Chain A
Amino acid sequence: MPPRRQAVMEKPADFKATIKRIFSYMHGFGVHFVFVIIGVVFSSLAGIAGNALLKPLIDNIEQAVKSGSWDKRGFIRILCLMGLIYFVGAVSTFVYMRLMMRISTTTLMRIRNDLFCKMESLPIRFFDKHTHGELMSHFTNDTDTLREMLSNSIAQFISSAISITGIFVMMIIYSWQLTLIVVVMLFVIIRVIAFIGSRSSKGFIAQQKALGAANGYIEELVEGQKVVKVFTHEDEATEEFDRLNEELCQAATRANTFANILMPVMNNLSYLHYAVTAIVGGIMTVSGVGGMTVGTVVAYLQYTRNFSMPITQVSQQLNAVLTALAGAERIFKVIDEEPETDEGYVTLVNADIAEDGTITEAPERTGRWAWRHPHKADGSVTYTEVHGNVELDDVYFGYEPGKTVLNGISLYAHAGQKIAFVGSTGAGKTTITNLINRFYDVPDGKIRYDGININKIKKSDLRRSQSIVLQDTHLFTGTVMDNIRYGKLDATDEEVYAAARLANADGFIRHLENGYDTMLTGDGGNLSQGQRQLLAIARAAVADPPVLILDEATSSIDTRTEAMIEKGMDSLMEGRTVFVIAHRLSTVRNSSAIMVLEHGKIIERGNHNELISQRGKYYQLYNGMFELS
């Protein structure tokens, strides 16, 4: 029998609840499950019953040998019965395995889907607290172990339990005296499993820790391999790695030694059991205690062989099951996370706006938008046109309690204005934009959007009214076309081309291998940082929203290219409220208003010329560029 894949013995906190939870994912499979259990029962019973027939069969032969007259009819009858039982057994095995596979693959799919969908609805705050590697492992390691448990262990456990009980019952029926030996053996077996098991699980915990350390080191060093090269640090890196690698090897060898030894130990315990039973059984037959016959002893001895096998299997699966449950628990913990709350009820609708300013809801895209604002008190609905006016009133905010990042920010951005935030890293520039699109929430009334309390607006509608271009551009697997279209899923090809031209991306896209149909993989790894930013701008442009947030959107684009796309950007920004964050001051110079931030406070505001004439921080920053001597 092949050794199992070893796993760490991790104790899940609440065994029962987790198992119940896993079973809840099998809804709709009630009937299947009943048949699985029936199948397992039949399959294991067939094995036991088949063996049980061995006794009458051998007794029949013995009788024939002794008396010389053979009850051949009886012999055939037993053999036929045996064949029938075995056939039912094999068919049951097939049926339950097929059904179990159906159940387990679907269950796994449901859990994966649930986990992913939950992940999508979690607030940004959650992703701040958890590393990608950690979340990724829920989808890989944790579901893998769960998969193994679902497809193997459940049926295995049921079948082992039935086999052990069934065999035990048969043994008692055959000879309760001999069964006393089994009880003693069971005691020994449990002690042995506990002894070896606890050592091996301790070993596996140590191995897992060492593996984590080694893998972490590999990840870090491979990630920074270019730096290692530049600093010719290869020897030192290798030296440290060898140490970790040796530690891992030691721990793993120890853990696996115990796991490997379990099998021969269990095996030979069963031989010991066999020998003892044979001796005692033999003595009993000879002395005629308990009416023992040769057939009984032979059949009974067969049971002793069969008895240890399911026990060994359960003991070997224990590690796998515990690991899987611990993994499932981690998955459920994410699923139980509080999703992004959204009490917003103001929605974004297409609008027809009459000349007198009355707004009516339109069923299709009109190019104009309105906020649909139902009033709970009287059941009436009012419409407000979407302009993109944003107002912040004395906003305080911190990512962690007790550590404020914004300290009393107030500002008013008119539709069509370009507002720039300038300041050093950590001054709170990005934080402000994170609040405007409600990645993070602030108390009521602090931020108003077209005069509406931002917390009343449905998050999805709020975000749809804004486009954001982030400093780190993220692209998705798919064609260039798909990626631009991400901004507006029903955009026509023409709209995509127009957006690309606007962002000055059309030129380089057409030079790609397959133009707009070039596949981007690995987060657009085949493009330069600047090209990726141009795509991100095109993506925002195609969305055509009233509010645009550009967070260091052009930081990797050289100033000359930036100057070239300025016209496009200007036409993109026209009529929209734009928030720009840039440390490159040339990017923000033509803004309607520039806010200079320091420690979460606006310390200066005004347009470029006003700020220059104020001779304050902005002036210093700006002139820092020319302070050359």
Chain B
Amino acid sequence: MLQFRVGFKSKLPCRGAFYSEKGVLPVYKEIFSHVGKYKKEALLSPLSIIGEVLMEVLIPVVMAKIIDEGIKQNNIGRVVCFGLLMLVMALVSLFFGAIAGRLSAVAAMGFAKNLRAVLFRRVQSFSFANVDKFSTASLTTRLTTDVTNIQTAFMMFIRSAFRAPIMLTFALIMAFRMNSQLSVVFVFAAPVLALFMAFVMTKAHPRFKKMLSLYDSMNSRVQENLVGIRTVKAFVREDYEKKKFTDSTEAVREAQVSAEKLIIMTMPFMQFIMYISIISILWFGGNMAVGGRMETGELASFITYVSQILMSLMMLSMLFIMFVLSRASIQRIYEVLEEEIDIVSPENSKILPADGSISFSDVSFSYFKDMNNLALEHIDLDIRSGETIGIIGGTGSSKTSLVQLIPRLYDATDGRVIVGGHDVKDYDLDILRNTVAMVLQKNVLFSGTIRDNLRWGNAEATDAEIEEACKAACAHDFITSFPDGYDTELGQGGVNVSGGQKQRLCIARALLRKPKIIILDDSTSAVDTATDSSIRKAFREKLADTTTIIIAQRITSVMDADRIVVMDAGKISAVGTHDELLESSEIYREVYESQQKGADE
């Protein structure tokens, strides 16, 4: 009996901009162009399926002959003869079937591999703005679940896309050839079935879409509860959350019932049509056979064709339903592929920065490229090579936004950022980012040993260099206190070290770059003040020629800088030394006093 399933995989909720749905064709064309070098397999597989199906369709003819020319004529010779022929055909069919199985596996898995590879490279070339737009969770889902969905759909497609129509055509031809009058039954059955399928599918699509979106929100509720379990428990909101969750599962169940009840109707309906066809054929065929216009064996074979024809129609409709369902995944992958990367290296740029100087000239910046919604407004700032600059400012005053323009993690919306004498847009990105090392506020370590992670800074760093950088970042002591020292394995995300230790490792990693400019974006917030000051001391002694920019909350982290920039609401409010700012900047004084209170008592 024909049996099918409509599988869907859960998707995590995702943010990010969505394209207004373009025409379907260019989307599919783009996605399937990545079959790439597996095109041969992808084409040969359906071709060998033609061989398999051909045998499958012809075998019933032989079966009929066995009965009509052999058994009924008491002709054992014929039975054996046709029996052997059938065996040979079965072997041929097996041969093609196995080849097709192998080729379709190679093609589908290869296609998935290519998709993953192109997506991975794409994400690697994304700018910060691109990543922000999609969110990392959504990008991960697109590279994993969505690709798997397409892979499954694709394999099913190349295995059945040809099988169903070929089987349908052959079976129809055979049936008509065998008995054209009897075949009129199909003329009635097929359109009824097709109409019914079309009806079910148009009805089911929106319902499945609704179910998937409810499913997404149910899962995001689970995720929120996992992440925020302490908050839930601290506020004794377990029952509240349970209520909300059971409401959402009930909604999912209802949507599921409403979508699936349409799909499951197809099966009994098809049975119904098939049974009616069989009975009509038996009725007409019986009359013909008695009237001598048809052989009994043919009648039996004819019934085989009935089921073949109806099954291939069913298979076609299943294919269609599956495509409707995988369309969501295809759309999501297409969005990643089509996302315009807004920061790219200029071609063949070989210019090198002259020194570590930085200059902002009338720079404005908006995360939304909207001059009415600016994060930075008309910044003018010149930093000499080798200078140490501190940046202080309140939450949301755009300190991070400012420094992210230096290694061109974002592009200025207006104005120019000049590093080492050239506009950042004129540098090859690799050269620019090798010049500017940045320790991010939200920093990440990767699984692997401490040494592996440090080598990110410089793959060829010697052990002595690594040790030196770690000493400067005050990381050497705690690293050597671990039993495995520099070879200690860090779990994913560096879970085996404390926050402060992680920050120090990240600083050491940046130092290994030997950059002309180093930026610390609130990178010592979890480090205690004494360690913080020894790190800064090391910086002063060992990195005298390196331009250093330190963003910090603590005044003490910046007060010995050559100059301190005070940021307020996207603007530079004041620039000067600690003493100057205490005199001139009210904000600076307030910050200072808020941290200073009681110290003099």
Tell whether, in the assembled complex, residue B123 and residue A222 are in contact, meaning their CB atoms are under 8 Å apart: yes
**A489 to chain B: which residues have CB within 8 Å?**
240
B557 to chain A, nearest CB (A): 9
User: Given known contacts A113-B246, A151-B260, A245-B117, is B3 in contact with A313 (CB within 8 Å)?
Assistant: yes
Tell whether, in the assembled complex, residue A215 and residue B601 are in contact, meaning their CB atoms are under 8 Å apart: no
Task: In the complex, identify which listed stretch (A117-125, A363-371, A394-402, A445-453) lies at the interface while the others stay far away.
Answer: A117-125
**A237 to chain B: which residues have CB within 8 Å?**
124
Q: List 7 A-B contacts (CB under 8 A).
A: A54-B300, A86-B279, A89-B271, A220-B447, A260-B105, A279-B80, A286-B75
Tell whether, in the assembled complex, residue B144 and residue A425 are in contact, meaning their CB atoms are under 8 Å apart: no
In addition to A268-B91, A463-B236, 9 A-B residue pairs with Cβ atoms within 8 Å of each other are: A2-B156, A90-B272, A109-B253, A234-B124, A249-B110, A256-B155, A305-B304, A561-B395, A624-B528
Most buried by B among A263, A310, A586: A586
Q: Chain B: which residue is nearest A233 at the CB level?
A: B456
A426 to B478, CA, bound (A): 14
B152 lies within 8 A of chain A by Cβ? yes
Interface size bracket, A side: 35 or more
User: Given known contacts A70-B290, A253-B105, A563-B590, is B139 in contact with A275 (CB within 8 Å)?
Assistant: no
B249 lies within 8 A of chain A by Cβ? yes
**A528 to chain B: which residues have CB within 8 Å?**
395-396
A325 to B75, CA, bound (A): 53
A139 to chain B, nearest CB (A): 5
**A89 to chain B: which residues have CB within 8 Å?**
271, 275
Q: Name the one of A282, A474, A609, A626 contacting B601, with C-beta atoms under 8 angstroms.
A: A609
B222 to chain A, nearest CB (A): 5
B190 lies within 8 A of chain A by Cβ? no
Tell whether, in the assembled complex, residue B533 and residue A624 are in contact, meaning their CB atoms are under 8 Å apart: yes
A406 to B472, CA, bound (A): 32
**A626 to chain B: which residues have CB within 8 Å?**
556, 599
User: Given known contacts A214-B116, A556-B395, is B429 in contact with A5 (CB within 8 Å)?
Assistant: no
B407 lies within 8 A of chain A by Cβ? yes
- Contact string against B for A residues 213-226, beta-carbon threshold 8 Å, 1 for contact and 0 otherwise: 01110111111111
User: Given known contacts A230-B438, A560-B590, is B275 in contact with A50 (CB within 8 Å)?
Assistant: yes
A212 to B498, CA, bound (A): 27
Tell whether, in the assembled complex, residue A252 and residue B109 are in contact, meaning their CB atoms are under 8 Å apart: yes
User: Given known contacts A476-B224, A558-B591, A586-B597, is B409 in contact with A226 (CB within 8 Å)?
Assistant: yes
**A233 to chain B: which residues have CB within 8 Å?**
456
B22 lies within 8 A of chain A by Cβ? no
B256 lies within 8 A of chain A by Cβ? yes
**B457 to chain A: which residues have CB within 8 Å?**
231
B21 to chain A, nearest CB (A): 22
A500 to chain B, nearest CB (A): 16
Q: Name the one of A263, A301, A624 contacting B63, with C-beta atoms under 8 angstroms.
A: A301
Tell whether, in the assembled complex, residue A424 and residue B241 are in contact, meaning their CB atoms are under 8 Å apart: no
Tell whether, in the assembled complex, residue A222 and residue B395 are in contact, meaning their CB atoms are under 8 Å apart: no
- 5 pairs of A and B residues whose beta carbons are closest in the complex: A264-B97, A260-B101, A474-B228, A530-B395, A282-B79
B574 lies within 8 A of chain A by Cβ? no
**A236 to chain B: which residues have CB within 8 Å?**
459
B93 lies within 8 A of chain A by Cβ? yes
- Contact string against B for A residues 176-220, beta-carbon threshold 8 Å, 1 for contact and 0 otherwise: 000000000000000000000000000000000001001110111
A356 to chain B, nearest CB (A): 32
**Residues of A561-576 whose CB lies within 8 A of B:** 561-563
A294 to B75, CA, bound (A): 12
User: Given known contacts A93-B268, A230-B409, is B319 in contact with A112 (CB within 8 Å)?
Assistant: no
A556 to B459, CA, bound (A): 34
- Contact string against A for B residues 566-595, beta-carbon threshold 8 Å, 1 for contact and 0 otherwise: 000000000000000000000100110111
Q: Chain A: which residue is nearest B245 at the CB level?
A: A116
Tell whether, in the assembled complex, residue A116 and residue B83 are in contact, meaning their CB atoms are under 8 Å apart: no
- Contact string against B for A residues 262-273, beta-carbon threshold 8 Å, 1 for contact and 0 otherwise: 011101100110
Task: In the complex, identify which listed stretch (B125-133, B356-364, B377-385) lies at the interface while the others stay far away.
Answer: B125-133
A627 to chain B, nearest CB (A): 6
**Residues of B310-334 whose CB lies within 8 A of A:** 311, 315, 318-319, 322
A525 to B241, CA, bound (A): 20
Q: Chain A: which residue is nearest B238 at the CB level?
A: A120
A248 lies within 8 A of chain B by Cβ? yes
B291 to chain A, nearest CB (A): 9
Task: In the complex, identify which listed stretch (B7-15, B412-420, B479-487) lies at the interface while the others stay far away.
Answer: B7-15
User: Given known contacts A231-B456, A265-B94, A281-B71, is B152 in contact with A5 (CB within 8 Å)?
Assistant: yes
**B159 to chain A: which residues have CB within 8 Å?**
2-3, 260
Q: Chain A: which residue is nearest B108 at the CB level?
A: A256
Q: Name the one of A101, A226, A468, A583 contacting B234, with C-beta atoms under 8 angstroms.
A: A468
Tell whether, in the assembled complex, residue B235 and residue A463 are in contact, meaning their CB atoms are under 8 Å apart: yes
**B275 to chain A: which residues have CB within 8 Å?**
50, 83, 86-87, 89-90
Q: Name the one of A61, A259, A539 contacting B289, with C-beta atoms under 8 angstroms.
A: A61
**A377 to chain B: which residues have CB within 8 Å?**
none
Tell whether, in the assembled complex, residue B97 and residue A263 are in contact, meaning their CB atoms are under 8 Å apart: yes
**A597 to chain B: which residues have CB within 8 Å?**
none
**B437 to chain A: which residues have CB within 8 Å?**
230
Tell whether, in the assembled complex, residue B533 and residue A226 are in contact, meaning their CB atoms are under 8 Å apart: no
A275 to B67, CA, bound (A): 11
User: Given known contacts A256-B108, A282-B71, A625-B529, is B261 in contact with A98 (CB within 8 Å)?
Assistant: yes
Tell whether, in the assembled complex, residue B5 and residue A148 are in contact, meaning their CB atoms are under 8 Å apart: yes
Interface of A is mostly: helix
User: Given known contacts A61-B286, A628-B559, is B76 in contact with A282 (CB within 8 Å)?
Assistant: yes
A215 to B145, CA, bound (A): 9
Q: Chain A: which residue is nearest B432 at the CB level?
A: A232
**A267 to chain B: which residues have CB within 8 Å?**
56, 93-94, 97
**A286 to chain B: which residues have CB within 8 Å?**
74-76
Q: Name the one of A1, A113, A259, A283 contacting B2, with C-beta atoms under 8 angstroms.
A: A1
A1 to B312, CA, bound (A): 8
Tell whether, in the assembled complex, residue A101 and residue B601 are in contact, meaning their CB atoms are under 8 Å apart: no
A215 to B125, CA, bound (A): 19
User: Given known contacts A58-B300, A62-B296, A218-B143, is B83 in contact with A521 (CB within 8 Å)?
Assistant: no
**A231 to chain B: which residues have CB within 8 Å?**
433, 456-457, 509, 513
**Residues of A267-314 whose CB lies within 8 A of B:** 267-268, 271-272, 274-276, 278-279, 281-283, 285-286, 294, 297-298, 301-302, 305, 309-310, 313
A337 lies within 8 A of chain B by Cβ? no
**Residues of A89-105 whose CB lies within 8 A of B:** 89-91, 93-94, 97-98, 101-102, 105
User: Given known contacts A108-B253, A226-B131, A425-B500, is B595 in contact with A476 (CB within 8 Å)?
Assistant: no
A502 to B429, CA, bound (A): 46
B160 lies within 8 A of chain A by Cβ? yes
**A264 to chain B: which residues have CB within 8 Å?**
52, 93-94, 96-98, 100-101
Tell whether, in the assembled complex, residue B144 and residue A112 are in contact, meaning their CB atoms are under 8 Å apart: no
User: Given known contacts A530-B396, A559-B591, is B513 in contact with A253 (CB within 8 Å)?
Assistant: no
**A585 to chain B: which residues have CB within 8 Å?**
529
B496 lies within 8 A of chain A by Cβ? no
A314 to chain B, nearest CB (A): 11
**Residues of B186-243 whose CB lies within 8 A of A:** 217-238, 240-242
A286 to B75, CA, bound (A): 8
Q: Chain B: which residue is nearest A552 at the CB level?
A: B526
B43 lies within 8 A of chain A by Cβ? no
User: Given known contacts A230-B433, A531-B396, is B533 in contact with A627 (CB within 8 Å)?
Assistant: yes
B173 lies within 8 A of chain A by Cβ? no
A5 to B7, CA, bound (A): 8
A23 lies within 8 A of chain B by Cβ? no
B544 lies within 8 A of chain A by Cβ? no
Tell whether, in the assembled complex, residue A525 and residue B15 are in contact, meaning their CB atoms are under 8 Å apart: yes
A136 lies within 8 A of chain B by Cβ? yes
A82 lies within 8 A of chain B by Cβ? yes
Q: Chain B: which residue is nearest A521 at the CB level?
A: B15
A294 to B296, CA, bound (A): 10
A404 to B104, CA, bound (A): 57
**B76 to chain A: which residues have CB within 8 Å?**
279, 282-283, 286
- Contact string against B for A residues 602-614, beta-carbon threshold 8 Å, 1 for contact and 0 otherwise: 0000001100100
